[in-house]
Chain A
Amino acid sequence: EAGVAQSPRYKIIEKRQSVAFWCNPISGHATLYWYQQILGQGPKLLIQFQNNGVVDDSQLPKDRFSAERLKGVDSTLKIQPAKLEDSAVYLCASSFTPPAVLAGERGELFFGEGSRLTVL
């Protein structure tokens, strides 16, 4: 079974430029997450999609970050304009949402290898 695919793996840009990351989740996974992992810290949830709808984007800096998941499959995360503090690894994860989730079960999250962003 193919895992979560992300691209590009590495990106270097100047501040104030824009960048986009792409994620293709595991086939059949309805829930998709974008996390930001700054060096030395744990991942921080930016946005969570259920199919093509947003479940949680409370920690997404909406003045510069945007994300979409058209058709409920792959997703893109965009940063425009980038700041120095945006340097981080951007992790995409997906989970299968079985009927049991309605009863409070929490499915396992499967992560991609991440996209490392360096802002100069």
Chain B
Amino acid sequence: AQTVTQSQPEMSVQEAETVTLSCTYDTSESDYYLFWYKQPPSRQMILVIRQEAYKQQNATENRFSVNFQKAAKSFSLKISDSQLGDAAMYFCAYSGGGADGLTFGKGTHLIIQP
């Protein structure tokens, strides 16, 4: 079974600075997808960024980018120019095999200091 590990329960960063959230995963599959989801206090999860394992190029979405290291099974999220609205729980998630269902990590609580 696939597992997703987020080793940072909580991270704090000053507004406008850069922060990196860590994620590692374990899988025996060669083709899979990785995601970062954001969950603000209202609890509605929203997709931040997605990476296909077969793509070597790291995904980027505006201030959000990933560092995907397939051999190391590592998938970190970098948030540049942090904003107060970035404060939330961030979940790393894996999808592979024949089903679309996601396997989530335990999450990282990101605090933005004004």
Contact = CB atoms under 8 A, between A and B. Distances in A.
Interface string A26-46: 000001010000001111110
Interface stretch (A14-22, A71-79, A103-111): A103-111
Interface in B89-114: 91, 93, 95, 99-107
Contacts of B45: 43, 91, 93, 109, 111
A108 to B, nearest CB: 5
A41 B9 CA distance: 10
Contacts of A42: 4, 6, 91, 93, 104-107
Nearest to A43: B104
Interface residues on A, range: 20 to 34
28 contacts: A3-B44, A31-B100, A33-B100, A33-B101, A41-B107, A42-B4, A42-B91, A43-B91, A43-B102, A45-B102, A45-B103, A48-B100, A48-B101, A55-B101, A91-B45, A93-B45, A95-B100, A106-B100, A107-B100, A108-B47, A108-B50, A109-B47, A109-B100, A111-B45, A113-B43, A113-B44, A114-B43, A114-B44
A114 B47 CA distance: 16
A24 to B, nearest CB: 15
A109 B45 CA distance: 9
A119 B76 CA distance: 36
